[in-house]
Structure formats: C-alpha cells, structure tokens
Chains A and B, each alone.
Chain A
C-alpha cells in the first residue's frame, strides 16, 4: 500500500468510526491537526478513534503518551507511524 492509499484509508476510518457524516475524505487535509483546531476532534473522539485504528491496522502504542500524541497529530503523522510499524514487522 502506498502512502496516499494509506492516508485515504485512515481518513475513511476517522469518518466511519466517528460517524462524521457531513465530512468526506477529501475534506480532511493531510497536515491538518486532528484534535482541537483543524478537524476539531475531542477527547471522547480520541477514545473511539484509538480503538478503531487498532482494529484496522493492528498498531501498537508507545508507553509514552507524549509520543502517541505526536503520532496522532495529523493524518500525515498517523500514516508515517503506521507505515513505520508495518515495515518494522516485515523486516
């Protein structure tokens, strides 16, 4: 899967898991913050999104919550994190 496909997948998961019916994948900018400003997700969205992404991509999380915040900052950051984890498994 290339990066653009992965990003599209991530956006679809964000939309379906949080039922953001009025948002389409192309409305979510890759570099835009997901939480607070930007897409404007809140802490309760975060709870649900974490579970949905784990189910879909089987990613694991760092024990350091500040690292996790970085990985979840934007679609770009998430895609890079998921891709890095997949590569790590392939090796």
Chain B
C-alpha cells in the first residue's frame, strides 16, 4: 500500500488556471462552443497525464471487461464534466435535463418536505455537482430552500470559495474541507441537519490524513480502500442517509442529459458501540455495491485518476 502514490500527493495539473479559464468561457460562450472546446482541452490533459492514464487503463479493464481500455474518451468526458460542474454552480443546468429514476427520489422529497435533513453520500463517478446545485436553487421538488453543506477532500482556499460565490452568488451552499474537521464539526452538522439541511460527502476517496481510517472492501473484483469517515458521520448524524449518483446519459454528447440515481440505505444504526462500528462497515459495503453497479453502467465517467486498487493487482 505504501508504494502506491496516493491521489492527494499527485500534482493537480493546472487546476487553478483551468478553473479560472473554464469559468470565464462558460460565462461568456454559448454551451455548444464550450463543449467543442472541451475536446482539445481533454486531449491536452490526456497527453500530459501519464500516471493517470495508467490508472484509468486498470479501472477500465475492471469496469468494462472484454473491451479495449481506451482512455481518451474518459478524459474527454471528464473535460465535459468539469464544464458542467461549473455550469451547475452558475445555475445553467436546468432541472429538465436531469432525469430522475423510479428509485428513492420520492422518499427523499417527502422527507425533505416534512422538514427533515439528510446525509447524501456521493462519489466521483459522474457529476456530483448536479445534486448540490439543484438543492442550492431550491428546485429539488421541495417547497422550501434546502441549505447544503458539502464536505470536500481538498483544502478549501478562500480563492476557491470566492469562485463558487462568484459563479452562483448563493449563500445556501457551504463547503467545508475534510482537513478542517474538528470537535465542533459534528455538532455543527447535527444542528444543520436538525434544521432540515443536507450534508453531502463523497464515499469513494480513501482518507489521507488518517490512513488507518479506511475500510478494505472488494470493488470490481479486487480489494480497494474506502474511507470510514463518511460512514462514521452517518452513524453520528441522526438522519436519513442516501447514496446518490448523477451521471450523463451518454458520456460524450453535446446535450447534457443526466440520470440521477438515489437509494436510501438499508442500514440502521442501533445497539452498542461495537455494533454500530459493524453497521458502519456494512453501510460502506452497501455503498460500494451501488458504486460498482453504476461504474458498469457509466464506465467512462469515473474520475478517480489514481491507482485505486492495491499494487500488484491487475
């Protein structure tokens, strides 16, 4: 495990200029032009990202066995996704473009309508920004504005927060960094949820700050690490927990048609501390089963560009 390069150690190539540039383009250019521009940008990233390409080859062999693991389409899809992330911050993605399924969507809407809060566990498959942005604008089929707190796995800088603010000007969405979690965080999240807010956190990025706080779970045929944190937060927050996946219907197309999948967890927390610990793992495993299912369904929309599985695994 030690010799594999963790994602957080990887140099995030051109992230800042990329953000500034995409924000500017998205604001001034029509959607179709921006999407055409995504092709050379994605191609450039594909060219300069040797280790990421290698990691993606490994992933594609698992998610799409029997097919050639061509990586370029995934990088192009990623490029489009970045654009649509920013569009969703800016409120440019319309609800009509998001197709809900016959799953637990009505359940969460009903719960939110009753004034309950929720914890949404999402992933880096597809575009998790979709759900955040919709909740931000109070358009999720609920008659009240639902405040959102996202816990993210990068250091939140003032510049980044400013950019989000510039893009949507909404104060309903707060971002806190996993690096800033302290004793007060959980109390803050509890009161947020008690007031009917949503907490969003990704369940598919192993913890760097606390490497012994990961679960080893079989994922697409081999063991991989998943963070305990999101599931422990679930055990401490007394609220409904959902797994959410939003992915493009077609990874590569001009029109941004998204499918939103939402599933309520079957795990409930009860009993002693030891029992709750076991339930935490159970929840992580349940999340991974859904993640697997949607990786098979949307193989080109997986955006974890690092060695996901233990070294030596093929």
A-to-B contact residues, CB < 8 Å? 19, 42-44, 46-51, 53-54, 61-62, 65, 68-69, 72
6 tightest A-B contacts by CB?
A50-B183, A68-B184, A47-B186, A43-B181, A42-B210, A61-B184
List 15 A-B pairs, Cβ < 8 Å.
Answer: A43-B178, A43-B210, A44-B232, A46-B182, A46-B186, A47-B181, A47-B183, A47-B232, A50-B182, A50-B184, A51-B187, A54-B187, A65-B182, A65-B185, A69-B182
Chain A CB within 10 Å, residue with most, of B178, B187, B210, B228 = B187
B233 cross-chain contacts in A, Cβ below 8 A: 47
User: Which residues of B sit under 8 angstroms from A48, Cβ to Cβ?
Assistant: 186, 232, 236
- Decide if the interface of chain B is mainly helix, strand, loop or mixed: helix
In the assembled complex, the Cα of A49 lies from the Cα of B233 at a distance in Å of 13
Minimal beta-carbon separation of B213 from chain A (angstroms)? 6
Complex contact B229–A44 (CB within 8 A): yes
Complex interface: chain A residues within 8 A of B182 (CB): 43, 46, 50, 65, 68-69, 72
Contacts of A43 in B (CB 8 A): 178, 181-182, 209-210, 229
Nearest Cβ in chain B — how far from A11, in angstroms? 15
CB contact list, B222-237 vs A, under 8 A = 228-229, 232-233, 236
B188 contact set on A, CB distance < 8 A: 61
Q: How far is the CB of A54 from chain B (nearest CB, A)?
A: 6
Taken together as a complex, chains A and B put the C-alpha atoms of A42 and B208 apart, in Å, by: 12
Taking A46-B186, A47-B232, A54-B187 as known contacts, 18 extra A-B pairs with beta carbons closer than 8 A to each other, sorted by chain A number, are A42-B213, A43-B178, A43-B182, A43-B209, A43-B210, A43-B229, A46-B181, A47-B233, A48-B232, A50-B182, A50-B185, A50-B186, A51-B186, A51-B190, A61-B187, A65-B180, A65-B184, A72-B183
Name A42's closest neighbour in chain B (CB-CB): B210
Q: Tell me the complex Cα distance, A68–B190, Å.
A: 16
Residues 85 to 130 of chain B near chain A (Cβ within 8 Å): none
Distance to closest chain A CB from B161 (angstroms):
14
Q: Which residues of A contact B181 (CB under 8 A)?
A: 43, 46-47
Give bound CA distance, A69 to B182, whole Å: 7
B68 at the binding interface (Cβ < 8 Å)? no
B273 contacts chain A at the CB level, 8 A cutoff: yes
B212 closest partner in A (C-beta): A42
Q: Kindly state the separation between the CA atoms of A47 and B151 in the bound complex, as whole angstroms.
A: 13
Closest A residue to B227 by CB, please name it.
A44
Say how far B314's CB is from chain A's closest CB, in angstroms: 32
Output the residue of B180, B182, B273 with the most chain A CB within 10 A: B182
B238 to chain A, nearest CB (A): 11
Among A49, A50, A68, A69, max chain B CB count under 10 A is at: A50
Partner of B228, one of A44, A46, A50, A62: A44
How would residues 165 to 205 of chain B score, 1 for a CB under 8 Å from any chain A CB and 0 otherwise? 00000000000001011111111101000000000000000
Report the separation of the CA atoms of residues A29 and B183 in the bound assembly, to the nearest whole angstrom: 19
Distance between Cα atoms of A42 and B184 in the complex (Å): 13
Q: Does the CB pair B229–A46 fall under 8 Å?
A: no
